[in-house]
């Protein structure tokens, strides 16, 4: 129930609507708790790994969003203004070429794939340990709701949809309903 409330709050902040009471016959959304339960490690594996913290850390670390989602340059960084919250920028803007592949930052399951007034075509993926990643202003969403995705798998194409002045990806990472700086997670290839 808490997961559904967090997901509804996040979708509302993106300008969308998620009715907490509606049945899952509508394919526009999947609850966070359902996505996490369906992608959780099964009980046989839990028993097998009991006491093996190294193996558990490696398996659940696979869901940590460390993949840079698109090639390009960072045009705006994460910032949070506690005095004037409307001035906050809760993600990274990564400018790039229209039509470039947007990759999943980690393995997980899509919980939203659709249109929002501000972010245009947007995808939200639930990952293990309470992480969500957001990919906005897409030209085209490749993945639909409730699809399993692997880390580095193409999920969308970079675009300029919604309230956007130039082609870029708006990328956010949330942990337990709180936005965090993606630069603390993604690996930058420094050649």
How far is Cα 128 from Cα 51, in angstroms, rounded to an integer? 19
Asked whether 152 and 103 are in contact (CB, 8 A), the reply is: yes
b/e sequence 95-134, b meaning 16+ C-beta within 10 Å: ebeeebbbbbbbbbbbbbbbbbeebbbbbbbbbbebbbbb
For position 32, what pLDDT does the model report?
47
Parallel, antiparallel, or unpaired for β 120-126 and 108-116? antiparallel
Unique residue bearing structure tokens 């490749």: 142
Sequence-separated (6 or more) residues with CB below 8 Å from residue 86: none
Regions of the chain with pLDDT less than 50: 17-49, 55-57, 59-60, 190-191
pLDDT value at position 129? 86
In the structure encoding, which two tokens stand for residue 166, read together? 């130039």
- pLDDT for the residue 16: 55
**In the 8-state DSSP scheme, what is residue 98?**
T
pLDDT, one tens digit per residue, over 5-50 is 666 667 666 655 444 443 333 344 444 444 444 444 334 444 444 5
pLDDT in the model for residue 7: 67
SS3 call for 80: coil
Question: What pLDDT does residue 57 have?
Answer: 47
The confidence score (pLDDT) of residue 8 equals 66
Alpha helices in the chain (DSSP H): 2-13, 32-38, 43-49, 53-61
Q: Please check whether residue 124 is in contact with residue 149, taking contact to mean a CB–CB distance below 8 angstroms.
A: no
Question: Which residue carries 């490690």 as its tokens?
Answer: 41
**What's the pLDDT at 84?**
78
Q: How far is CA 153 from CA 3, 32, 67, 107, in A?
A: 25, 21, 10, 8
């Amino acid at each position: 129930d808490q997961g559904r409330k967090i997901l509804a709050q996040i979708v509302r902040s993106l300008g969308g609507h998620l009715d907490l009471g509606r049945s899952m016959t509508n394919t526009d959304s999947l609850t966070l708790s359902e996505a996490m339960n369906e992608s959780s490690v099964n009980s046989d594996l839990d028993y097998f790994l009991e006491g093996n913290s190294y193996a558990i850390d490696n398996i659940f670390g696979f869901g940590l969003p460390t993949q840079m989602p698109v090639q390009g340059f960072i045009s705006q960084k994460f910032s949070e203004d506690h005095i004037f919250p409307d001035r906050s920028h809760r993600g990274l803007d990564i400018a790039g070429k229209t039509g470039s592949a947007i990759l999943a930052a980690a393995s997980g399951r899509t919980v939203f794939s659709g249109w929002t007034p501000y972010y245009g075509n947007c995808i939200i993926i639930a990952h293990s340990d309470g992480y969500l990643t957001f990919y906005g202003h897409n030209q085209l969403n490749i993945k639909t709701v409730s699809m399993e995705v692997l880390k580095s798998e193409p999920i969308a194409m970079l675009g300029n949809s919604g309230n956007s002045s130039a082609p870029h990806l708006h990328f956010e990472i949330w942990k337990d309903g709180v936005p965090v700086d993606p630069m603390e997670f993604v690996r930058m290839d420094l050649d």
